């Protein structure tokens, strides 16, 4: 690949131009009920059904934007022997498997790429290994199809995620290698793990970071993104005078469906957002903090009434649409569990979400959104551009069980300027 890939993310909802995906593969099934929790799953997935559902998301994104696959980008990057050597050494150091380095180095780039996703099985060649209950020396990356978390494009820079769980650290290493060394990328990389700030309690993931507009970030504070992680992000952005406001939204630590901000709040257009009301509008339980930045320094930190009030003060008056619809807290809770707030915008007012969240879709329809099935678009039955606002729905019997939605599964590279 010789064409340059530009990075430009100044909004959550401007017209999408390019995006990175990772189509789920055998790594999704390389787990058992016994180790699913360690892999950050509450259940095991059926790859055949996952693949059918994911193909709808991928097919829609190909119609709207340029789509890149992580595997392709990594394979192309590892064709360079020097880069490959440094990458293998870093992986083996992290995985505490230095004895695998010679074998991995002998692999061609495509095979090395495959095992980085699917895992390296342990050779049972002595008694200790024979008795070891582990199947893999280098574990599969079960979560990588949630590409949102491992790297975050902010403006023209890329912030490499500082993953909260060791099982996902290799995802961030792969994305850093791609952004740093793939010949199509020329971008400034910000990476906590390769700096003096390499301490355990600095963590942040892309699901918690929303680029509301060129001067404003919204960041979730919860189980995956810590206060020290947010402090580090602020420190890194001091050289970026464009950022004036960071709104921090505290999240519940349980249940697991609240792992990221985009599981309770996403932007749908310049004027609308999808919210899980009990968290976003309940100012008595979960704090909203406004951090003002002036010339790279923190000017003021104060608590706000709630996230929508804070955005309104900044001139972003958003109409909330309620996940699960209004009135029934049980319906809200059920649909939030299945990523009912986790929408991904193709353009202002043109979003993708799960078909299973029927009450949430009814709430969107009441606000003028046309509900269109992805399969009808892909079969040529419907042209979504005949509608001003719409939700494209993908099937979701299996994908949501992995713990994320359309926003989780996309890593946007470029959008039109707001």
Domain ranges of the chain: 16-415
Which residue's entry shows tokens 């190909």?
A: 62
Q: Residue 175, class by beta-carbon neighbours within 10 Å (0-12 exposed, 13-18 middle, 19+ buried)?
A: buried
Cβ atoms of 352 and 344 closer than 8 Å: yes
- pLDDT on residue 64: 95
Question: What is the distance between the alpha carbons of residues 305 and 240, in angstroms, rounded to a whole number?
Answer: 28
Q: Are strands 157-160 and 151-154 parallel, antiparallel or unpaired?
A: antiparallel
Architecture of domain 16-415: 5-stranded Propeller (3.75)
Which helix (DSSP H) or strand (DSSP E) does residue 172 occupy?
Answer: helix 169-181
Q: Which two tokens stand for residue 320?
A: 């909330």
Cβ atoms of 260 and 220 closer than 8 Å: yes
Q: Is 6 helix (H, G, I), strand (E, B) or coil?
A: coil
Question: What is the distance between the alpha carbons of residues 156 and 154, in angstroms, rounded to a whole number?
Answer: 6
- pLDDT on residue 242: 86
pLDDT (tens digit, 9 = 90+) per residue, 187-214?
989 886 655 455 668 999 999 999 999 9
- pLDDT on residue 415: 98
DSSP 8-77: BB--SSSPEEEEEE----GGGTS--TTTTTTTT-SS---HHHHHHHHHHHHHHHHHHSEEEEHHHHHHHH
Split the chain (418 residues) into runs of 10 and give each run's mean pLDDT: 85 98 90 48 75 97 97 98 97 94 97 96 77 83 94 95 92 97 93 60 95 97 95 82 92 88 97 96 85 88 96 97 92 93 98 97 98 97 96 92 92 97
Cβ atoms of 97 and 89 closer than 8 Å: no
- pLDDT on residue 237: 79
Residue 13: phi and psi, rounded to 5, are: -130, 0
pLDDT (tens digit, 9 = 90+) per residue, 306-332?
999 999 999 999 999 999 998 889 999
- Tell me the pTM: 0.94
Cβ atoms of 330 and 306 closer than 8 Å: no
- pLDDT on residue 196: 47
Q: Residue 61, class by beta-carbon neighbours within 10 Å (0-12 exposed, 13-18 middle, 19+ buried)?
A: buried
- pLDDT on residue 191: 80
Q: Residue 300, class by beta-carbon neighbours within 10 Å (0-12 exposed, 13-18 middle, 19+ buried)?
A: exposed
- pLDDT on residue 220: 98
Cβ atoms of 320 and 273 closer than 8 Å: yes
Cβ atoms of 172 and 151 closer than 8 Å: yes
Cβ atoms of 261 and 210 closer than 8 Å: yes
Q: Which two tokens stand for residue 393?
A: 């729905």
**β-strand partners of 418:** none
Question: What is the distance between the alpha carbons of residues 250 and 225, in angstroms, rounded to a whole number?
Answer: 10
- pLDDT on residue 392: 98
- pLDDT on residue 416: 98
Q: Which two tokens stand for residue 51?
A: 């693949």
Question: What is the distance between the alpha carbons of residues 140 and 315, in angstroms, rounded to a whole number?
Answer: 45
Question: What is the distance between the alpha carbons of residues 385 and 63, in angstroms, rounded to a whole number?
Answer: 12
Instruction: Give helix 109-118 / helix 70-77 axis angle, nearest 10°.
Output: 140
- pLDDT on residue 41: 47
Question: What is the distance between the alpha carbons of residues 395 and 170, in angstroms, rounded to a whole number?
Answer: 29
Cβ atoms of 22 and 145 closer than 8 Å: yes
Question: What is the distance between the alpha carbons of residues 41 and 403, in angstroms, rounded to a whole number?
Answer: 7
Q: Of 283, 169, 152, which is closest to residue 207 (Cα–Cα)?
A: 152
- pLDDT on residue 36: 43
| Positive/negative CA dihedral, 142, 147, 148, 153 | positive
Cβ atoms of 280 and 307 closer than 8 Å: yes
């Amino acid at each position: 690949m010789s064409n340059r890939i530009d990075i430009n993310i100044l909004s959550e909802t401007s017209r999408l131009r390019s995006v990175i995906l990772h189509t789920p593969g055998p790594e999704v099934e390389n787990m058992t009920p016994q180790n699913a929790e360690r892999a950050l799953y509450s259940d095991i997935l059926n790859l055949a059904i996952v693949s059918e559902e994911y193909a709808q998301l991928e097919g829609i994104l190909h119609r709207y934007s340029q789509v890149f696959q992580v595997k392709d980008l990594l394979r192309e990057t590892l064709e360079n022997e020097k880069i490959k050597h440094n990458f293998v050494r870093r992986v083996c150091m992290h995985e505490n498997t230095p004895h695998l380095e010679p074998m991995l180095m002998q692999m061609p780039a495509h095979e090395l790429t495959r095992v980085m996703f699917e895992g390296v099985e342990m050779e049972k060649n002595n008694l200790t290994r024979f008795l070891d209950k582990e199947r893999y020396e280098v574990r599969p990356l079960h979560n990588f199809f949630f590409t949102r978390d491992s790297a975050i494009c902010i403006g023209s820079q890329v912030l490499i995620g500082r993953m909260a769980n060791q099982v996902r650290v290799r995802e961030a290493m792969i994305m850093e290698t791609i952004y740093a060394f793939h010949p199509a990328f020329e971008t400034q990389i910000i990476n906590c793990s390769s700096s003096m700030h390499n301490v355990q309690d600095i963590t942040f993931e892309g699901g918690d970071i929303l680029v509301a507009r060129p001067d404003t970030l919204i960041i979730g504070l919860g189980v995956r993104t810590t206060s020290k992680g947010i402090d580090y992000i602020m420190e890194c952005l001091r050289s970026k005078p464009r950022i004036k406001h960071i709104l921090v939204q505290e999240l519940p630590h349980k249940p697991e469906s609240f792992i990221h901000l985009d599981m309770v709040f996403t932007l749908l257009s310049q004027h609308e957002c999808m919210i899980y009301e009990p968290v976003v509008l309940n100012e008595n339980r979960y704090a909203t903090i406004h951090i003002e930045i002036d010339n790279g320094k923190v000017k003021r930190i104060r608590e706000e009434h709630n996230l929508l009030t804070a955005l309104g003060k900044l001139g972003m008056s958003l109409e909330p649409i309620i996940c699960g619809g209004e009135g029934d807290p049980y319906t809200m809770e059920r649909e939030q569990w299945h990523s009912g707030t986790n929408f991904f915008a193709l353009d202002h007012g043109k979003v993708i979400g799960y078909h299973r969240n029927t009450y949430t879709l009814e709430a969107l329809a009441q606000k003028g959104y046309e509900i269109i099935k992805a399969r009808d678009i892909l079969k040529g039955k419907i042209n979504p551009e005949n509608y001003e606002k719409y939700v494209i729905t993908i099937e979701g019997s299996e994908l949501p069980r992995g713990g994320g939605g359309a926003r989780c599964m996309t890593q946007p590279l470029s959008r039109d300027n707001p």
